[in-house]
């Protein structure tokens, strides 16, 4: 059992251990394997193959297992390390503690949006982005996207999502207009609502966080640890609510073979959502 702390509560030593473990995974090539995995399973509504990770009910359990696998890799380097969470409803400024020189570094510079500060700056020599997605080998950020401004979500946005008593609803994808899952994942509904919460954070950071290879930016893990914590809070707020769909959809439903009901194992780990409903045997949030 280990603890996941708010990043603002990490000691200087804890920050350094986390950064050093991430950099070691990068040197070994294991970090880039996690990026490749996320790209592989970022499947959109318009594709015909199964989509376990995004625009889907299994958004929460898939990313919970993904974080656990990453945390396990970190702990193989340093057993004292765990993934902290970033509460972006509170630490919502470009000067917030996670963007410090000794932690994640700051915003990208004007023009090419290259991150020039912190341990993940390309010029420091230890963080080179693979060329599969972009020709740029450096980490990019574009806080707030000044050309089309976006803000980080606030507590009210999160509270609206936490207040929905239903986990997810048909059509079980990016246009599900109600349900906790899509209110947090945050796909905009044309004529209904704009992007929110999870997606809004990716867009606010911009740069490397804006696409399927978003784990190229280490802030990805802190962001998704908070998303995982929000799922836990929703479960506590709605103790009688359950993961949906609970069973396979009817044979004539176009989503039947594309989404993952409660007991259908998710690739690549062959772990079903039902096995990930409770994290308290493995870690706790403090």
What does the pLDDT look like over 114-171, one tens digit per residue? 999 999 999 888 899 986 666 789 999 999 999 899 999 999 999 999 999 999 999 9
Residue 13 burial (CB < 10 Å; 0-12/13-18/19+)?
Answer: exposed
Tokens of 282: 């493995």
pLDDT on residue 131: 63
pLDDT on residue 214: 96
pLDDT digits (tens, 9 = 90+) for 220-242: 999 999 999 999 999 999 999 99
pLDDT on residue 133: 62
Sign of the Cα torsion 88, 280, 14, 22 reads negative
pLDDT on residue 136: 80
Q: Which distant-in-sequence residues (6+ apart) come within 8 Å of 11 by Cβ? A: none
Side-chain half-sphere of 142: how many Cα atoms within 13 Å?
18
Cβ atoms of 180 and 166 closer than 8 Å: yes
Cα–Cα distance list, 125 to 26, 119, 215 (Å): 11, 9, 18
Spell 106-136 as b/e; 16+ CB within 10 A means b: bbbeeeebbbebbbbbbeeeebebeeeeeee
Q: H or E segment at 234?
A: helix 219-237
pLDDT on residue 161: 97
Q: Which distant-in-sequence residues (6+ apart) come within 8 Å of 128 by Cβ? A: 122, 137, 138
Cα–Cα distance list, 227 to 185, 203, 224, 234 (Å): 9, 15, 5, 11
Number of Cβ within a 10 Å radius of residue 29:
8
Residues of the chain falling short of pLDDT 70: 131-134
In the block, which residue shows the tokens 């999160």? 158
């Amino acid at each position: 059992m280990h603890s996941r702390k708010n990043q603002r509560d990490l000691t200087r030593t804890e920050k350094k251990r986390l950064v050093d473990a991430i950099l070691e995974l990068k040197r070994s090539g294991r970090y880039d394997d996690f990026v490749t995995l996320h790209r592989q399973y970022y499947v959109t509504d318009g594709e015909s193959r199964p989509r376990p990770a995004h625009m889907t009910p299994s958004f929460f359990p898939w990313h919970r297992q993904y974080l656990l696998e990453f945390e396990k890799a970190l702990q193989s380097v340093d057993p004292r390390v765990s993934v902290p969470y970033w509460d972006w409803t509170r630490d919502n400024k470009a000067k917030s503690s996670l963007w410090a020189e000794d932690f994640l570094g700051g915003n990208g510079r004007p023009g090419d949006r290259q991150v020039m500060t912190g341990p993940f700056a390309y010029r420091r020599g230890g963080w080179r982005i693979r060329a599969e997605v972009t020709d740029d080998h450096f980490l990019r950020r574009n806080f707030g996207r000044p050309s089309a401004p976006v803000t980080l979500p606030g507590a009210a946005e999160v509270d609206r999502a936490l207040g929905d008593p239903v986990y997810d609803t048909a059509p079980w994808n990016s246009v599900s207009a109600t349900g906790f899952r899509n209110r947090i994942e945050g796909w905009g509904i044309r004529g209904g609502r704009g992007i929110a919460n999870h997606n809004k954070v990716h867009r606010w950071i911009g740069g490397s966080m804006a696409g399927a290879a978003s784990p190229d930016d280490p802030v990805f893990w802190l962001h998704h640890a908070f998303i995982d914590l929000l799922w836990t809070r929703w479960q506590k707020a709605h103790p009688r609510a359950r993961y949906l769909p609970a069973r396979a959809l009817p044979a004539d439903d176009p989503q039947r073979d594309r989404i993952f009901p409660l007991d259908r194992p998710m690739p690549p780990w062959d772990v079903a959502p039902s096995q990930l409903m409770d994290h308290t045997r493995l870690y706790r949030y403090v």
